[in-house]
Amino acid sequence: MRLIDADALKSKLQARHDNGNDDFDKGYNIGLGTAIDLIDCAPTIETEQKERPQGEWICTFHSTFPQYEPDEYRCSICNCVGNKRDKFCNVCGAQMKGGKE
């Protein structure tokens, strides 16, 4: 997950949307309008949450035969299964211990 300024992105898309007036632009504008709608529907991070939570991958299943069945790792924040090599949890966005942005 990468935090971006959704309002700035929406403003740029809206400016391009408003500049096109010929037949070619009509189809282009439909796509831009869809993108703007998707930004409006995207989940938001609470404003009080100024920093990413810091978590770590916790091994919840240690395989006896890793070549056939891999170890299982879970996020210490949300308990979802993830890949211990990921820098961030794909579900809650926590930065994992040892990971760099």
CB of 46 to Zn ion, least distance (A): 15
Whose Cβ is closer to Zn ion: residue 36's or residue 78's?
Answer: 78
∠ Cα 44 52 59 (to 5°) = 115
CB distance 89 to 78 below 8 Å: yes
Window 16-75: residues binding Zn ion (CB under 5 A): 75
Exactly one of 25, 35, 91, 99 binds Zn ion (CB under 5 A); that residue is 91
Residues at the site binding Zn ion, with contacts judged by CB under 5 A: 75, 77-78, 89, 91-92, 94
